[in-house]
Amino acid sequence: MASSSAHRSPQVADCVALVTGGNRGIGQAFVEELLAGGARRVYCGARNVDDVPGFMRDAGVVPVPLDITDVDSVTAAAAACPDVTVLVNNAGFHGRDRLVLTEHPEIARQEMEVNYFGTLNMIRAFAPVLAGNGGGAIVNVLSVAGAIPTAFMGGYSPAKSAALFLSTIARAELDEQGTSVTALIVGSVDTRMADHVEGSKEDPRDIAKTGLRAMMRGERTVDTDRMAYEARSRYALDPARYERGMAKVMRSGIQSTGR
């Protein structure tokens, strides 16, 4: 379920990377894998730089104050990190709510602001930086919920779907400057965002390893784990059956990885 770009993407070794939401979860795993792979410099974007763990600072990670929904904050980050060659758009927000039958309709808008518009803000601000440094690469950490409609992810699923389309459009627009764009379709991962989900979950480090390998190969859209490609396959084979199953899950109130 992946195809390759004609561009030569940067290697992890000696790259300069910025990871949004890099202070925990999948973002932290990307920071750790970048360091392990020999990145020359890693910036960790966080709304509060005090949340960047001490071990990261000790390893040379550079904390960057960053709220991806705030254009001024994003612009300041781009100015502070002029040497970036790899942008990992990892920061996200899952409101854990329904879309229609909700008592908090504002959550869906918040999810769109972070997961779609925030990612768009970052790509717009850093596209010139990447171009000035030879093209580079963008990695968008998305979700299986953005590839297929998913129960209990009312606003999150449409927002991640929008970010998936954004990845394709950005790839086409940035082709001429030599910037590759890799979209990661991620299943359930053992992070705080998925602590309410039952069943087995993926190790964040495995997701980061898969994502960086995909970037180095110049791949476009990649299922990072078993849950992602199995869920996408079930939906593609029989959408009606999948949707009936989704309604059943919604009635039960239990969210599980199915494993």
Residue given tokens 């992070």 in the structure block: 191
The answer to whether residue 1 sits within a structural domain is: no
Residues in the chain: 259
Instruction: Determine how many CB atoms are found less than 10 A away from the CB of residue 47.
Output: 17
Instruction: Please confirm, yes or no, whether 156 is among the known catalytic residues.
Output: yes
Query: How many folded domains does the chain comprise?
Result: 1
Whether 48 shows a pLDDT value over 50: the answer reads yes
Whether 59 shows a pLDDT value over 80: the answer reads yes
Instruction: Determine how many CB atoms are found less than 10 A away from the CB of residue 219.
Output: 20
Question: Nearest Cα to 73, choosing from 122, 131, 141?
Answer: 122
Per the model's pLDDT, the better-predicted residue between 189 and 247 turns out to be 247
What single DSSP character describes residue 174?
Answer: T
The DSSP element (H or E) to which 132 belongs, if any, is helix 119-132
C-alpha torsion sign, points 154, 149, 164, 33? positive
pLDDT at 168: 98
DSSP string, 90-159: ---------SSS-S-THHHHHHHIIIIIIHHHHHHHHHHHHHHTTS-EEEEE--HHHHS--TT-TTHHHH
The answer to whether residue 2 sits within a structural domain is: no
pLDDT at 257: 46
CA–chain centroid gap for 167, Å, is 11
The answer to whether residue 120 sits within a structural domain is: yes
pLDDT at 7: 60
Question: Nearest Cα to 99, choosing from 165, 143, 149, 144?
Answer: 149
Whether 187 shows a pLDDT value over 70: the answer reads yes
Whether 191 shows a pLDDT value over 60: the answer reads no
Q: How would you label 29-41 residue by residue, b for 16+ Cβ within 10 Å and e otherwise?
A: bbbbbbbebebeb
Whether 254 shows a pLDDT value over 80: the answer reads no
Q: How would you label 66-84 residue by residue, b for 16+ Cβ within 10 Å and e otherwise?
A: bbbeeeebbebbbeebeeb
The answer to whether residue 8 sits within a structural domain is: no
The answer to whether residue 193 sits within a structural domain is: yes
248 Cβ neighbours under 8 A, 6+ residues apart:
none
User: 1: pLDDT confidence band, cut at 50, 70 and 90?
Assistant: very low
pLDDT at 5: 44
Q: Which two tokens stand for residue 224?
A: 């990072």
Q: Which domain holds residue 166?
A: 16-252
Residue given tokens 């998925």 in the structure block: 194
1 Cβ neighbours under 8 A, 6+ residues apart:
185, 221, 222, 223, 229, 232
The answer to whether residue 209 sits within a structural domain is: yes
Q: What is the mean pLDDT of residues 29-44?
A: 97
The answer to whether residue 105 sits within a structural domain is: yes
Q: How does the average pLDDT of the chain come out, rounded?
A: 90
pLDDT at 97: 85
Percent of the chain with pLDDT over 70: 90
CB 220 within 8 A of CB 182: yes
The answer to whether residue 7 sits within a structural domain is: no
Instruction: Determine how many CB atoms are found less than 10 A away from the CB of residue 249.
Output: 16
Tens digits of residue pLDDT in 120-132: 999 999 999 999 9
Catalytic position from the list 116, 156, 235, 242: 156
Whether 4 shows a pLDDT value over 50: the answer reads no
Whether 90 shows a pLDDT value over 70: the answer reads yes
Q: What is the CATH number of the domain that holds 114?
A: 3.40.50.720
Whether 171 shows a pLDDT value over 90: the answer reads yes
